[in-house]
Amino acid sequence: MTKEEKIIYVQELAEKFKNFPNFYIADTGGLSVAQINELRGKCYQAEIELRVIKNTLIRKALEQTGVDYTDMYPALKQTSAVFFVKENPNKPAKLIKEYRKIVKDKPVLKAAYVESSLFMGDASLDALVALKSKDELIGDIIGLLQSPAKNVISALQSGGGKIAGILKTLSEKQ
């Protein structure tokens, strides 16, 4: 790759980081080409873009975004693969965890940037898996808001039935 090609590639990569609010950086070292291709296929099915990129190019692209990613730079060592996802920020975490059942301990999460929050290290993978998407959170909030109204309506309906039953029983006794 020539210097001019690298400059163009870094600019394109910087745009990708700007356009994708959620991305993960994982260590894929030790995986064979066949395993990487299998992982790419799983990513494609899950609507996740996977790229294996040199750490220096990742760093230069991150520097061009205008966002402060300096806390992420120490993670840019060994082999790095970047998982880009627009929606459902926990998809890559779930995919990594699922893929580990096939290939033990690989890929290893180095860092993740999700909704303006930085997660460092493989220990944060479980927290990332537990994250809910925006749609799931909205659904939970709507469910919580509907719950009290449903309780009031059902209490009024059951209360009315009880009163009618009591009146019917009293009228039958007389």
The CATH class, in words, for 3-131 is alpha beta
- Classify 114 in phi/psi space as left (phi over 0), alpha (psi -120 to 50) or beta: beta
pLDDT at 156: 57
Considering only residues 14 and 163, tell me which one the structure prediction assigns the higher pLDDT: 14
pLDDT at 163: 66
Distance CA 62, CA 10 (A): 9
Burial classification of residue 122, based on how many CB atoms lie within 10 Å of its CB (0-12 exposed, 13-18 middle, 19 or more buried): middle
pLDDT attached to residue 15:
92
User: Positive or negative CA dihedral for 71, 64, 77, 93?
Assistant: positive
Mean pLDDT of 108-130: 86
Beta strand residue intervals within 47-116, DSSP E = 49-52, 81-85, 108-114
pLDDT, residue 158, reads 62
| Residue 67 phi, psi (nearest 5) | -105, 145
Weakest-pLDDT range from 37-41, 120-124, 161-165? 161-165
Residue 168: per-residue pLDDT: 73
CA distances from 158 to 22, 128, 151, 163 (A): 48, 43, 10, 9
Least trusted range by pLDDT, from 50-54, 113-117, 155-159? 155-159
pLDDT of residue 13: 92
pLDDT at res. 143: 76
**Cis ω on the peptide bond leading into residue 21 (within 30° of 0)?**
no
What's the mean pLDDT when you consider all of the chain?
Answer: 84
pLDDT-based confidence at residue 132 (cuts at 50, 70, 90): confident
Tell me the mean pLDDT in the region 130-135.
74
3-state per-residue secondary structure call for 34-48 = HHHHHHHHHHHHCCC
What would the pLDDT profile of 70-115 be if each residue is shown by its tens digit? Answer: 899 999 988 899 999 988 888 899 999 999 888 888 899 999 998 8
For residue 157, the model assigns a pLDDT of: 64
Bigger pLDDT: 88 or 151?
Answer: 88
